Amino acid sequence: MNYYLDVIKRYADFQGRARRQEYWMFLLWNIPIVIVLAILDFALGSYPVISWIYTLAVFLPSLGLTVRRLHDTGKSGWWYLISLIPFVGFIWILVLMATEGDAGPNVYGANPKQIGA
């Protein structure tokens, strides 16, 4: 849960680098929350009001996390736009998110793995 809250606290932070663990743990918490809120929306007959409010609330934190994750692999945050290419873009972004970050410091900062150790 700490990974999720840390991303929310760094609300619109697009600087620095984010580890793979930080990215995937955020997703591990975010996806079930979205599912539960969608079920709640259907039960209350308000679909998609609650889900959209939550999605808008976490849009900037998740975008910032994705940009920081791209920075960890040595890529600019603008690489996220490749996800707009149907099918292929999603797969490419998925590969980039799963790729190990640069071992040492890069243009975006020090290796977060070495900082946390």
Alpha carbons 100 and 105: distance in angstroms, whole number: 13
Angle between helices 20-44 and 88-98 (to 10 degrees): 130
Is the previous residue joined to 112 through a cis bond, with omega within 30 degrees of 0? no
Give tens-digit pLDDT for 85-100. 999 999 999 999 999 9
Give tens-digit pLDDT for 14-54. 999 999 999 999 999 999 999 999 999 999 999 999 999 99
pTM for the full model? 0.93
Tell me the longest C-alpha to C-alpha distance in the chain.
51
Predicted confidence band at 117 (pLDDT cuts at 50, 70, 90)? low
Given a contact cutoff of 8 angstroms between Cβ atoms, the answer to whether 30 and 61 are in contact is no
Sequence-ordered list of residues with C-beta below 8 angstroms from that of 92, at least 6 positions apart, any chain: 82, 83, 85
Given a contact cutoff of 8 angstroms between Cβ atoms, the answer to whether 19 and 108 are in contact is no
